[in-house]
């Protein structure tokens, strides 16, 4: 164990500058996304409202099959694959995205994404230099956890974009929350760079926390999509029942993917990351076994990881149970994400604040935010 390896002040400085620059660029991206929404809304996008007119919005990229969204026909080299709806699902096309099919809006959207990429690179640099300056992983305290978390969330978003997933519409909301998160980090949570205390030195910690951050970022994307699903679903229900939604709702929700698409995407995202979350808890238990002499002890942090896990398991079960799909399952997904959030912010702020380990050697753990 190296002792008091001098903190590299220079690198820490650079890190701070990078984080602030990233915030500036995120702000620009934020405005570009706003412009995308505003200019986009000028075009006429009422597809869902056009009585569920199947306007195709996306072209497929599978090797031999082209599934035309809405058209429901997959064009093969020769034979066509016809896709039928699962019975009961509504035949609604995906919205065109924030730009609403408007060229100028689309341009702003592209600018926004470029800016997001730049801001991501800057904040990634910020996280990296921070890590170098403290010579350890960048999550020894809540400040570092926050900057790493927002960087990871944006990374997940950009990765999904690169994989050609229909997530571009998320951009505005993501940059907004990232700005809030970073703002909170640099003002309230800022901690000068320093080394990790000894109890936190373990490679299980690296594994545990990095996967926890990744899971959080993906859960966040899932939860956000779920919220949008709920909005879009009510919107579609209203339309289907002959109601007339407000013009803001129309302008906004028309551009999102169809409720069914959102629902499915949210499920995919949550389900894909659930095994990793399971692994995160296990890695945490192994770490606790090394650090505290028991792998499971119902400490508040452990308890809330468990609650989060059970809640997500409940969500997955609900999806498999007839009668619980759709909105009910969506509420469960949101509750589960709420548990995740509480585990990070709530437990650190409300529960651990009063909680203190009796032993001096471990008391220091608390000051590190874990």
Partner 1 sequence: MSDTTTDNSTQTGDDQDLGAAGSQLSTAPVEDAPSPNLPALGVIGWARWFWRQLTSMRVALLLLLLLSLAAIPGSLIPQTGIDETRVADFRERHDVLAPVYDKLGLFNVYSSVWFSAIYILLFVSLIGCIVPRTWQFVGQLRGRPPGAPRRLTRLPAHTTWRTSAAPEEVREAALALLRKRRFRAHTVGDAVAAEKGYLRELGNLAFHLALIVMLIAFAWGQLFKSEGNKIVVEGDGFSNTLTQYDDFKSGNLFTNDDLEPFSFDVKEFTGTYERTGPNRGTPRTYETEVTYTEGADGEEKNAVIKVNKPLEIGDAKVYLVSHGYAPVVTVRDGKGEIVYQDAVPLLPLDNNVTSNGVVKVLDGYRNPQGKKEQLGFQAFFVPTFGGSASGTMLSQFPALDYPVLALNAYHGDLKADSGIPQSVYQMDKTKMKEFKDADGELLKKLLTPGETMTLPGGAGSITFEKDIKEWAGFQVVQEPGGGWALGGALAAIGGLAASLFVQRRRVWVRAVRGDGVTVVEMAGLGRSESAKVPEELGDLAGVLYERAPGVADPEPDGTPEPVAAPPSEDPGASDASGTTTSTDTDSQAVPAEGAEQQ
Question: Using CB under 8 A, which residues numbered 122 to 151 contact partner 1?
Answer: none
By CB under 8 A, the residues from 94 to 123 that bind partner 1 are: 94, 96-97, 99, 101, 103, 106, 113
Contact pattern for partner 1 over residues 24 through 53, marking x by CB under 8 A: --------------------------xxxx
Return the residues of window 301-330 that contact ligand HEM according to CB under 6 A. Answer: 313, 316-317, 320
Question: Is residue 282 involved in binding ligand HEM (CB under 6 A)?
Answer: no
- Angle, helices 203-240 vs 327-341, to 10°: value is 150
Pattern of binders to partner 1 over 270-289, x per CB under 8 A? Answer: -xx-xx--xx--x--xxx-x
Question: Taking Cα atoms as reference points, which of 39, 102, 108, 93 lies closest to residue 254?
Answer: 93
Q: Are 83 and 66 in contact (CB under 8 A)?
A: no
Q: Is 57 in the site for partner 1 (CB under 8 A)?
A: yes
Give me the helix-helix angle, 103-134 and 9-40, nearest 10°: 170
Q: Token pair of 366, please?
A: 């608390």
* Interacting residues with partner 1 between 195 and 214 (CB under 8 A): 195, 197-199, 201-202
Q: Which of 8, 73, 177, 234 binds partner 1 (CB under 8 A)?
A: 73
Helical packing angle, 360-367 and 259-292, nearest 10°: 160
CA separation for the pair 153, 200 (Å, rounded): 24
Q: Pick what 275 binds: partner 1, ligand HEM, none; C-beta below 5 to 8 Å, kind-dependent.
A: partner 1
Nearest to ligand HEM of 268, 355 (CB atom): 268
Shortest distance, CB of residue 201 to ligand HEM, whole angstroms? 32
User: Where do the H-state alpha helices sit in 188-299?
Assistant: 203-240, 247-253, 259-292
Tokens of 263: 């629902």
Give min distance, CB of 142 to ligand HEM, in A.
Answer: 30
Task: Give SS3 for 72.
Answer: coil
* CB of residue 322 to ligand HEM, shortest distance in Å: 11
Residues 109-128 that bind ligand HEM (CB under 6 A): none
Nearer Cβ to ligand HEM, position 145 or 309? 309
Closest CA to 40 of 255, 298, 219: 255
In 3D space, the residue among 116, 184, 190, 186 whose CA is nearest the CA of residue 151 turns out to be: 116
| Binding interface with ligand HEM (CB under 6 A) | 313, 316-317, 320
């Amino acid at each position: 164990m190296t002792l008091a390896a001098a903190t590299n002040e220079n690198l820490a400085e650079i890190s701070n500058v990078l984080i602030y620059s990233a915030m500036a660029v995120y702000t620009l991206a934020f405005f570009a996304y706003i412009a995308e929404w505003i200019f986009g809304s000028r075009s006429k996008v009422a597809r869902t409202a056009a009585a569920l007119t199947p306007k195709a919005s996306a072209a497929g990229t599978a090797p031999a099959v082209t599934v035309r969204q809405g058209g429901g026909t997959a064009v093969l080299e020769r034979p066509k694959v016809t896709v039928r709806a699962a019975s009961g699902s509504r035949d609604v096309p995906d919205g065109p995205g924030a730009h609403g099919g408007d060229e100028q809006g689309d341009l702003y959207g592209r600018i926004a994404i470029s800016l997001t990429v730049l801001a991501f690179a800057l904040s990634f640099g910020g996280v990296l230099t921070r890590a170098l300056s403290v010579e350890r992983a960048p999550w020894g305290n809540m400040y570092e956890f926050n900057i790493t978390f927002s960087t990871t969330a944006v990374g997940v978003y950009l990765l999904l974009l690169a994989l050609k997933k229909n997530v571009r519409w998320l951009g505005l909301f993501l940059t907004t929350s990232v700005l809030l998160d970073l703002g909170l980090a640099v003002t309230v949570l800022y901690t000068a760079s320093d080394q990790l205390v000894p109890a936190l030195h373990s490679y299980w910690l690296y594994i545990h926390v990095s996967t926890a951050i990744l899971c959080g970022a993906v859960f966040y994307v899932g939860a956000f999509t779920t919220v949008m699903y709920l909005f879009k679903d009510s919107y579609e229900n209203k339309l289907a029942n002959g109601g007339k939604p407000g013009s803001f709702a129309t302008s906004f929700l028309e551009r999102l993917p169809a409720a069914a698409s959102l629902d499915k995407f949210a499920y995919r995202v949550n389900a894909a990351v659930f095994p990793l979350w399971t692994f995160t808890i296990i890695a945490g238990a192994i770490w606790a076994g090394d650090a505290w002499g028991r792998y499971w002890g119902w400490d508040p942090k452990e308890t809330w990881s468990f609650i989060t896990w059970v809640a997500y398991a409940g969500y997955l079960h609900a999806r498999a149970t007839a009668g619980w799909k759709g909105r009910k399952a969506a509420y469960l997904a949101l509750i589960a994400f709420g548990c995740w959030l509480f585990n990070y912010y709530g437990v650190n702020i409300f529960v651990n604040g009063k909680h203190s380990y009796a032993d001096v050697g471990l008391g220091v753990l608390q000051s590190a935010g874990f």
